[in-house]
Amino acid sequence: MYLHDRADKEGKCYPAIGTIAKELKLSRSTVKRAIADLEKSGRLRKEQRWRENGGKSSNLYYLAQPNSS
């Protein structure tokens, strides 16, 4: 629900793990485990983002769009 609330119209968002953990009052490991579970279930796709200087940035998350039948 947290990522859904922060996603744009295309289902993309990019909050940092630390930000998610702090705002939800969870440990970073709990957040990482939950994201991994969402990836395994096909509800989320994660992509690494990079800074212009080559350093890592927060991940980009793509939320699975519900089927419109």
Q: Smallest Cα–Cα separation from 19: which of 65, 53, 63, 61?
A: 61
Is residue 35 within 8 Å of 62, Cβ to Cβ?
A: no
Task: Give the chain's count of helices (H) and strands (E).
Answer: 3, 3
The full set of domains in the chain, from first to last, is 2-63 (1.10.10.10)
Predicted confidence (pLDDT) per residue in 26-47, tens digit: 999 999 999 999 999 999 999 9
Q: What's the predicted TM-score (pTM) here?
A: 0.81
Q: How far apart are the first and last CA of the chain?
A: 22
Q: Is the pLDDT of residue 69 over 50?
A: no
Residues 6+ apart with CB under 8 A from 26: 20
